[in-house]
Amino acid sequence: MSHFLYSLIGLAAGICFILALKGLSTPKTARRGNIIGAVGATIATVVVFFNAQEGESLPLNNLGWILGAIALGVVIGVPAARKVQMTQMPQLVALFNGVGGGAAALVAIVEYLHLGDSANTAEVIATVFTVIVGCVSFSGSIITFLKLQELMTTRPVVFPGGRFVIAGTLAATLGVAVWVVAALGTNPLLILAALALAFGILFVLPVGGADVPIVISLLNAFTGLTVAASGYVLDSTLLIIAGTLVGASGTILTRMMAEAMGRSLFGTLFGAFTAKPQQASGAADERPVRSGSPDDVAILLNYARRVVIVPGFGLAVAQAQHTVRELADLLISKGIDVAYGIHPVAGRMPGHMNVLLAEANVPYDQLAEMDEVNPTFAQTDVAIVIGANDVVNPAAKTSPGAPIYGMPILEVANAANIIFLKRSMRPGFAGIENELLYDPKTMLLFGDAKASLTKVVSALKNL
């Protein structure tokens, strides 16, 4: 295949990626967009087997190894993606992003070993960039995975002098980077990779709870840029286009996510350098709470005129989306006005709740965004909070020291009655106490969200 034809097909794949991102920006075309992206990636992968690199011939060397490795990747990746539960998708995306960053770093290292002394300075700089950012993306994503999977604490991990350690690691990384560019050599590059891996871990450790999705998005953009840099070293226009697209759109997406959550991107990014050790917020452990039975909840709902349902991660964990819809339908059939109050970051990822409720065929017009629903809480008789906590926690408005301070919340406190469906008194993902639980107009219904809702539905039917 001529190099011209190869480049032309690569360009077609690049256009597929642009159309994919465009499609993914609108609900109607999102699924088609994703498929176009997959087609582009497939074209790009297939065509590389038919193009001889400079000084090489077809078929590709090590063809058996290459095909075997692809097969192994498919065998690992597809089942993981198919079997994962809705609740665990965010961490799977984090993991996929991490291995992508790792792959980019490995490609850069191999190319560096291969080029040896013949690499020019620009290529070395691009290599160094890819190794640093790819390794940061890899180790950082692994930490976000561990946090979301709750294999480690979800709270910010801050240790005394931490910011100096982080700044020191960053300085050392940059120092070694200069050394690699100036002196060349394999060992400095490996030291660089090790330092970058360490920096990725240190960078993500102080990020707490609600900021984790923003960091995943940011690392995703980082990985895109490493792919672009690899494209430069490997002289592949396609990789430059694809990587830059992801880097640019990922940056915008990260900013949009941060805005939706009321977080400053800067604050999230440099949280590592400014985070202070958290004070234990043990002020309110022993106070009484009011818990009720499913019948109490049913009665409260039966005589309400307007009910707002606030779903959270607990709903996803319990897979209670169908039951909650049953409850809503029942209430509507009784002439009660029902809306779902959707916080942009309820669950573990922006849009998590919409996806979950859409699965239960909840009509779109019942889903109200935060800005729409907040002014209506004053006219709401009952707000049912199902497995949500941080997104309704008034600490975001009232206590400047809280990790979620500044995040807009659903103001359920303005409703006449609040019902919390919770598994336990355990605080939410951000690990902060919720004052609302102790509010006299709050009733708690403990238990698995699905089991509790089922009981409420049957109690309501018997009324």
Partner 1 sequence: MEPIAIISIFVLAVFVGFEVVSKVSSTLHTPLMSGANAIHGVILVGAIIVADHSSTNLELGLAVAAIILATINMVGGFVVTDRMLEMFKPKKGGENK
Active site residues: 390
Among 243, 294, 387, 403, binds partner 1 (CB under 8 A): 243
Q: Are 154 and 177 in contact (CB under 8 A)?
A: no
196 sits near partner 1 (criterion: CB under 8 A)? no
Number of shown-chain residues binding partner 1 (CB under 8 A): 116
Q: Which residues contact 145 (CB under 8 A, 6 or more apart)?
A: 91, 94, 95, 98, 151
Minimum gap (Å) between residue 344 Cβ and partner 1: 4
124 sits near partner 1 (criterion: CB under 8 A)? no
Among 5, 8, 22, 168, binds partner 1 (CB under 8 A): 22
Among 127, 173, 220, 389, binds partner 1 (CB under 8 A): 220
65 sits near partner 1 (criterion: CB under 8 A)? yes
Among 129, 199, 232, 420, binds partner 1 (CB under 8 A): 232
Map the footprint of partner 1 across residues 82-121, applying CB under 8 A. Answer: 82, 84, 89-90, 92-93, 96-97, 99-100, 102-104, 106-107, 109-111, 113-114
238 sits near partner 1 (criterion: CB under 8 A)? yes
Closest to partner 1 by CB, 28 vs 287, is 28
Among 352, 422, 450, 455, binds partner 1 (CB under 8 A): 352
38 sits near partner 1 (criterion: CB under 8 A)? yes
12 sits near partner 1 (criterion: CB under 8 A)? no
Map the footprint of partner 1 across residues 150-179, applying CB under 8 A. Answer: none
207 sits near partner 1 (criterion: CB under 8 A)? no
380 sits near partner 1 (criterion: CB under 8 A)? no
Minimum gap (Å) between residue 129 Cβ and partner 1: 13
Closest to partner 1 by CB, 347 vs 387, is 347
458 sits near partner 1 (criterion: CB under 8 A)? no
Q: Binding segment for partner 1 among 28-36, 204-212, 297-305, 329-337 (CB under 8 A)? A: 28-36
Closest to partner 1 by CB, 49 vs 159, is 49
Map the footprint of partner 1 across residues 253-282, applying CB under 8 A. Answer: 253, 256-257, 260
